[in-house]
Structure 1
Amino acid sequence: MNATEQHRETDDTMAATKAPTVLEQMGGAKGFVYSTIPVLVFVAANTFLTLPVTIAVSLAAGLALTVFRLVRGEKVAQAIGSVLGVAVAVAIVAFTGSPKDFFVIGIWASAAGFVVTAGSLLARRPVTGVVWNLLHGGKHPWRGDRAVLRAHDVATLAAAVVFGARFVVQQWLYLADATGGLGVARIAMGTPLTVLGALVVIWAFRRTTKRLLPKG
């Protein structure tokens, strides 16, 4: 094997072992599509069909997506999420009779996320730092390192901004009875914002690991 072939083999090996991106860790483009389809189906059906038919179509779409994912060999726990999330959302819609309530769980989940992240900042115990410490045995004095604490302040603030932005925008659309707008907001503020927030959290985790964990 000559030098050129060895260099090419090394490059191939590095590419094969390259760490997955944040988007890939969250399911990749497929994960984004899987989370988008139920929203698109519900909003489109609600535009042209009666509410009972919209509920039926949404459930059928969620079930079809679950079967498709199972056929592709995905884990049952992952695949069943396609129909479970839709089932809970349309059950609320059926109970209230209001299409906009398809989005109510996500709206209040964002509110809860904001309260937790913002509250941890005010308490000077940023939640991303708490999580990092728990993942590494729970015995590291991470709050005593100013650089680490600052990194987790930034990461937790990023998470709070994501949660807060989702809640404010979607709650405003909810109060305005803008079901279509809620669908657009759910998609636009879903995976894209999550990836951006995750990048900041991963940076804080790596910075903490580098400073606090022994090398070698």
Structure 2
Amino acid sequence: MTQRATPGAELLEHTGPGHPTGPRRPVASPSATTRRVLGLDEVAERSLTRTTVDGALQRVGGPVGLISAAAPTTAFVITEAAAGLGPALIALLVTAVAACVVRLARREPAGAAAAGLVVAAVCAGVASVTGQARDFFLPAMVVPVLFVLAYTGSLLARRPLMGLIVNPLSGGPRTWRTHRGLRRLYTASTLVGLGLAGLTLLARVLLYLADQPAALVVVQVVSTTSFALHFAATVVLARRSADAPANAGAAH
């Protein structure tokens, strides 16, 4: 009777004189050992939360990118409170140029780095014309307004904006509107985006009317991060939904 080969027998190798020949056993990592002792399932991939956070940080350029984006506005607000509008405008422009240099040194797209300079210059121009520091934040209010209009229009047209933006980047099928899972995901994601844009716009208007520039800086950083998280989560979920056969099928 022929003896059946044991799994892994093909991995047998000699390790040298005096050493027995046998299968090489993989060394378990401490985390794998802990999970086995506790009776937990093996982790096949990173958690959704970790993947989403990593994707969001990558989208905003990581911690350095987030700091670089917030530095000009922060410098403007702090300097204005301490020395007035004139020095604040100088601090803003100097910090904006430094942030642009940092982004270029990190090999970020030149267009994005230049856009930061243009935005800083526009905001500085508005504040210098009106003579009020809070008017520095007026141009930024246009962004959530545009998002609210775009999200609302896409939902009314039954072409969820997040589907138009995310699906090509996530590698989803061109016929995603007939894919139940993807259609529902992009619709829900667009509704979430509409809510985020609406809340951001409301917060900016109220804080502008209350003349709270420091709080407006916080709103700017929080809104940027939240939109990045929202985008990254949608990409991750879209990839999983597109790969799930159970969710595929024509919409009825």
TM-score (norm 1): 0.78
Deviates more, 1:20-29 or 1:67-76: 67-76
Alpha-carbon RMSD across the aligned residues, in angstroms, is 3.3
Residue 190 of structure 1: SS of its match in structure 2?
helix
Q: Does 1:109 align with 2:156?
A: no
CA distance in 2, matches of 1:163, 1:172: 14
Alpha-carbon spacing, 1:208–1:105, altered in 2? closer, same or farther (3 Å): farther
Residues 35-50 of structure 1: matches in 2 within 5 Å?
35-50=69-84
Show CA shifts across 1:86-119 (max 9, x none).
1121112112222112222221211110121122
- The equivalences for 1:139-150 within 5 A come to 140-150=174-184
After superposition, the C-alpha distances for 1:113-148 in whole angstroms (9 at most, x for unaligned) are: 012112222332211223355669998332233332
Map 1:95-174 onto structure 2 (within 5 A).
Answer: 95-132=129-166, 140-174=174-208
How many residues are paired up? 205
Change (3 A) 1:77 1:158: same
> What 5-or-longer segments of structure 1 have no aligned partner?
9-13
List per-residue Cα deviations over 1:148-207 (Å, max 9, x = no partner).
22111111111111111110111111122222221222123321x123312442144214
User: Secondary structure of the equivalent of 1:124?
Assistant: coil
- Is the radius of gyration larger for structure 1 or structure 2? 2
Please name the residue that 1:56 is paired with: 90
Greater fraction helix: 1
Q: Decide whether the 8 Å contact of 2:162 with 2:190 is kept in 1.
A: yes
**Aligned equivalents of 2:167, 2:106: Cα separation in 1:** 37
Q: Which amino acid aligns with 2:120?
A: V
Displacement of 1:48: 1.3
Contact 1:152 1:204 in 2 (8 A): no
**Structure 2: runs of 5 or more not aligned:** 1-14, 16-23, 30-44
Task: Work out the CA distance in 2 between the residues paired with 1:96 and 1:63.
Answer: 23
1:189 alignment partner, SS class: helix
- Are 2:218 and 1:184 equivalent residues in the alignment? yes
Select which of 191, 195, 198 maps to 2:228: 195
* Distance verdict in 2 for CA 1:211–1:120, change over 3 Å: farther
Aligned equivalents of 1:139, 1:82: Cα separation in 2: 34
Letter in 2 for 1:90: A
Partner of 1:11: none
Report the Cα distance in structure 2 between the residues aligned to 1:137 and 1:67, rounded to whole angstroms: 33
SS where residue 138 of structure 2 aligns?
Answer: helix
Is contact 2:208–2:216 with CA below 8 Å preserved after alignment?
A: yes
Q: Which of 85, 92, 108 is the matching residue for 2:126?
A: 92
SS in 2 for 1:80: helix
**Moved segments of 4+, more than 4 Å:** 1-5, 71-75, 132-139
Percent same amino acid at aligned positions?
A: 27
- Alpha-carbon distance between aligned partners in 1 of 2:182 and 2:104, rounded to the nearest angstrom: 42
- Asked whether the equivalents of residues 66 and 81 of structure 1 are also in contact (C-alpha less than 8 Å), the reply is no
What residue in structure 2 maps to residue 23 of structure 1?
56
Letter in 1 for 2:140: G
Deviation (angstroms), 1:58: 0.8
Amino acid across the alignment from 1:128: M
- Name the aligned partner's letter for residue 182 of structure 1: L
Stretch deviating more after TM superposition (118-127 or 54-63): 118-127
Work out whether residues 169 and 235 of structure 2, in 8 Å CA contact, stay in contact via their aligned partners in 1. Answer: no
Cα contact 2:123–2:137 (8 A) shared by 1: yes
